[in-house]
DNA sequence: AAATATACCTGACTGC
DNA sequence: TGCAGTCAGGTATATT
């Protein structure tokens, strides 16, 4: 489900409701997520005050006076803000209850997401992460990939190279930059890296503006879908005419993920 | 060091 | 209608 724009959409929706609020308790109904939710997680955050809600890549970071709560939504995680208690549904695994009475409810059918405590930002998961897409520039991307033989798309998806880019936006950025996803990264000229970064940033910005992409089940913290799916130019369009040159869009598998591209105008 | 495979899950959809 | 098989927005970890 959630790539950088979706996580940022959720972050922006939650921020005004959470910052400055106090955590009354944390209720864990299902602790078997990507990693077992630590037994002491509720104890750690009971009574904590949320001082900021940040994002790094696809990670949501709840800063509190009792340490950092790191939440990742995996493939199917959702966070929804409830005004008051409602009976939990299937897959509603965790409730973060505020003293204001509002409840942040975590729903995750596939359970690839996780919740964990960290003393601060010095957590291995965060430290391994590459730069934010909005902070990188063409020359820096070029430097990071110029000795790598892997297809450029694989590297866009590698969080150690660049944080937060997932399959949809990797496909879209390569299409808009007219670069073949399968190009070995070391064959990209500096000028192409510049183009790729510019297109990637523009796409991410637009997607955030439109509240993210809802293919099947993404919802923001208010339960509303995004609308960037209407602006997708290649993702999911196998066999349809390329919007630039009318050539049928081709689907291939790269790094085990569906990859869509125009074999004619992407080079 | 870098590339590839595997693992973790449920649900929606396809084809027989 | 049922069943088996495939695929899905992620990423750490193990293996080569």
Residue A230 DSSP one-character state: G
Query: What local confidence, expressed as pLDDT, does residue A261 receive?
Result: 96
Tell me which residues of A are annotated as active site. Answer: 2-3, 58, 257
In sequence order, what are the beta bridge partners of A115? A71
Q: What is the pLDDT of residue A62?
A: 98
Give the pLDDT confidence score for residue A1 in this predicted structure. Answer: 66
Across the range A152-163, mean pLDDT stands at 96
CA A33 – CA A100 distance, rounded (Å): 27
Q: What is the predicted pLDDT for the residue at A201?
A: 97
Q: Per-residue pLDDT tens for A91-124? A: 999 999 999 999 999 999 999 999 999 999 999 9
Residues in Cβ contact with A82 at an 8 Å cutoff, skipping those fewer than 6 apart: A102, A103, A104, A105
- What whole-number distance in Å separates Cα of residue A243 and Cα of residue A184? 25
Q: In A57-195, which ranges are E strands?
A: 59-64, 67-72, 78-82, 92-98, 103-107, 114-118
- Separation in Å: C1 C1' and A180 CA: 44
The residues of the protein lying within 7 Å (CB) of strand C read A 1-3, 6, 34, 57-58, 72, 74-75, 110, 112, 125, 128, 157, 159-160, 166-168, 212-218, 256-258
* Structural contact between residues A60 and A25, judged by C-beta atoms closer than 8 angstroms: no
Nearest nucleotide to A7 by CA–C1' distance?
C9
Q: Is A52 helix (H, G, I), strand (E, B) or coil?
A: strand
Please give the Cα distance from A48 to A50 (Å, whole number).
Answer: 7
Q: What burial letters (b/e) apply to A9-40, b meaning 16+ CB within 10 Å?
A: bbbebbeebbeebebbebebeeeebbeebeee
Please write the tens of the pLDDT for every residue from A1-45. Answer: 699 999 999 999 999 999 999 999 999 999 999 999 999 999 999
pTM for this model (two decimals): 0.97
Which tokens in the block code for residue A52?
């900021």
A202 vs A175: CA distance, rounded Å:
13
């Amino acid at each position: 489900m959630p790539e950088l724009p979706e996580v940022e959409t959720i972050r922006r929706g939650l921020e005004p409701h959470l910052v400055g609020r106090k955590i009354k308790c944390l209720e864990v109904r299902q602790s078997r997520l990507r990693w077992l939710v630590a037994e002491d997680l509720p104890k750690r955050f009971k009574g904590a005050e949320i001082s900021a809600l940040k994002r790094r890549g696809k990670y949501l970071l709840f800063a509190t006076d009792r340490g950092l709560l790191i939440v990742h939504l995996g493939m199917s995680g959702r966070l929804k803000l409830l005004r008051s208690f409602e009976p939990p549904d299937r897959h509603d695994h965790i409730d973060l209850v505020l003293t204001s009475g509002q409840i942040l409810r975590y729903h995750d059918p596939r359970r690839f997401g996780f919740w964990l405590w960290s003393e601060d930002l010095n957590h291995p998961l965060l430290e391994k992460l590459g730069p934010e897409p909005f902070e990188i520039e063409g020359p820096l991307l070029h430097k990071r990939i110029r000795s790598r033989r892997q297809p450029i798309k694989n590297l866009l998806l590698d969080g150690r190279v660049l944080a937060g880019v997932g399959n949809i936006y990797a496909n879209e950025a390569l299409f808009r930059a007219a670069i073949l996803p399968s190009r070995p990264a070391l064959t990209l000229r500096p000028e192409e890296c510049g183009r790729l970064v510019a297109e990637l940033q523009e796409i991410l910005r637009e997607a955030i503006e439109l509240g993210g992409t809802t293919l099947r089940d993404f919802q923001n913290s208010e339960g509303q879908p995004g609308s960037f799916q209407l602006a997708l130019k290649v993702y999911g369009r196998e066999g349809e005419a390329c919007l630039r040159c009318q050539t049928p869009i081709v689907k291939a598998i790269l790094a085990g993920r569906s990859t869509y591209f125009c074999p004619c105008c992407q080079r």
